[in-house]
Amino acid sequence: MRIKYGSFLLLIGLTFIVAACEDDGYVVPEGARNLSNDCIKRSLGPNVVGNEIAFAYAMALPADLGNLSSARVEASIAGAAGTYLEHRSFYTHSGGIVPSTGDEREGGADIGIVVGSPSVTNDKITEVTFVKDTCASTLRYYYVIPEEAKGKAVSFTFSATASNGESVSYKMGPYEVGNIEMKREIVLTNDSYFSISDFEVYDETQAAANPEKVDLIYLYRSIGGINFGHALVSPGADSEFLPGLTVPTGLNNKTHIRKDSGSRDQHLAQDRYGVFVDDVDLYEIDLSAHPFYGLDLRNESGVWLETADGKYKAYIYVNEVDNAAGSMTVSVKRLLID
């Protein structure tokens, strides 16, 4: 009985082994026999007026069917100046001499091969005409977000045509564009006056002529016993925090300020860091319990602020402080709250 039972199990086992050894034959999948396309969005983060939205648009057809004739992108809202479609197809270099240019480049370099004539933009449409006999290409598209797109959604239709008359298209979006406004690389010199509402730096005379516009005063002070350093102070703050400065008459805005060392916005920090300050951050932040000054600001730190009239909230990122020159370079994102 024990032998019969054992033989039965052995038979079952062998059956499984034989069945498992039957391998399905692999067949190399065939590519599409027509013009195909695909697209990815390359840029990350919230969409802010003045910034780019970047895409990579790929198109190909079998070599025996013809070559690519043209590629174009139609945006639902015309892009701002600087919007373009690359006329080069890029690959990642493995290092050494670049065949197309003869230059020596490091491995990992982004190498562009010209495949078309430089793009032509006409209102909402940006187009590249291929000049090289190529059946596959990936072109990058950079859309500069225009002022007209603020608070709206923008979408894109990518399309390609081939020499055999075929055409394809690919829709991307819609993408919401925030209401945030941005200005980068503003240089503040010692005792200068800054307006959030018009993104302008004033000297004393200009500030005196526009007292209602001045939200902040930039000071650099080296004071014994304390860390004052580079500071942003409201004109209406206690004079203790405006040492050595006589504020022109009429400047009394009290801007609430909160220091923040962790929110290093990528848009403001020259594409470093992975943090983005978005509309919702500025809408939701409550600064009413915060003081009217931010002292001892350092490289890569920042402040959140709300103007005295409650009209604007903003985030200021410190790009660079210069102790020798007594200056500070900042980049700002602001949101109109009304």
Write down the least CB distance from residue 305 to another protein, Å: 13
Q: Is residue 258 at the binding interface for another protein, with CB under 8 A as the rule?
A: yes
Q: Is residue 10 at the binding interface for another protein, with CB under 8 A as the rule?
A: no
Write down the least CB distance from residue 261 to another protein, Å: 5
Count of CB atoms situated within 10 Å of the CB of 284? 8
Write down the least CB distance from residue 225 to another protein, Å: 3
Q: Is residue 147 at the binding interface for another protein, with CB under 8 A as the rule?
A: no
Q: Which is nearer to another protein, 202 or 293 (CB)?
A: 293
- The β-bridge relationship of strands 88-92 and 216-221 is unpaired
Site for another protein in 198-257 (CB under 8 A): 223-228, 241
Q: Is residue 142 at the binding interface for another protein, with CB under 8 A as the rule?
A: no
Q: Which is nearer to another protein, 102 or 224 (CB)?
A: 224
Which range in 94-102, 265-273, 290-298, 318-326 contacts another protein by CB under 8 A? 290-298
DSSP state of 87: S
DSSP state of 172: E
Q: Which of 53, 295, 308, 332 binds another protein (CB under 8 A)?
A: 295
Q: Which of 47, 89, 126, 301 binds another protein (CB under 8 A)?
A: 301
Distance CA 249, CA 209 (A): 10
CA angle 253, 249, 293 (to 5 degrees): 35
Q: Which is nearer to another protein, 146 or 291 (CB)?
A: 291
Residue 208 belongs to what H/E stretch? Answer: helix 204-209
Longest dimension (CA), the chain: 111
Distance CA 138, CA 39 (A): 9
* Cα-based distances in Å from 278 to 47, 99, 243, 254, 271: 9, 43, 34, 24, 15
Q: Which is nearer to another protein, 164 or 227 (CB)?
A: 227
Q: Is residue 300 at the binding interface for another protein, with CB under 8 A as the rule?
A: no
Write down the least CB distance from residue 336 to another protein, Å: 24
Q: Which of 262, 271, 284, 338 binds another protein (CB under 8 A)?
A: 262
Q: Which is nearer to another protein, 205 or 222 (CB)?
A: 222
Which positions ≥6 away from 277 have C-beta within 8 Å?
Answer: 180, 263, 265, 267, 268, 315, 333
Number of residues that bind another protein (CB under 8 A): 19
DSSP state of 4: H
**Contact assessment for residue 168 and residue 39, using Cβ atoms and an 8 Å cutoff:** no
Q: Is residue 74 at the binding interface for another protein, with CB under 8 A as the rule?
A: no
Q: Which is nearer to another protein, 178 or 291 (CB)?
A: 291
Write down the least CB distance from residue 338 to another protein, Å: 26
Distance CA 262, CA 251 (A): 31
Write down the least CB distance from residue 82 to another protein, Å: 35
Which positions ≥6 away from 253 have C-beta within 8 Å?
Answer: 212, 214, 215, 234, 235, 236, 307, 308, 309
CA angle 143, 199, 277 (to 5 degrees): 55
Distance CA 307, CA 335 (A): 11
Q: Which is nearer to another protein, 65 or 287 (CB)?
A: 287
Q: Is residue 290 at the binding interface for another protein, with CB under 8 A as the rule?
A: yes
Query: Could you list the residues that contact another protein (CB under 8 A)?
Result: 223-228, 241, 258-262, 289-291, 293, 295-296, 301
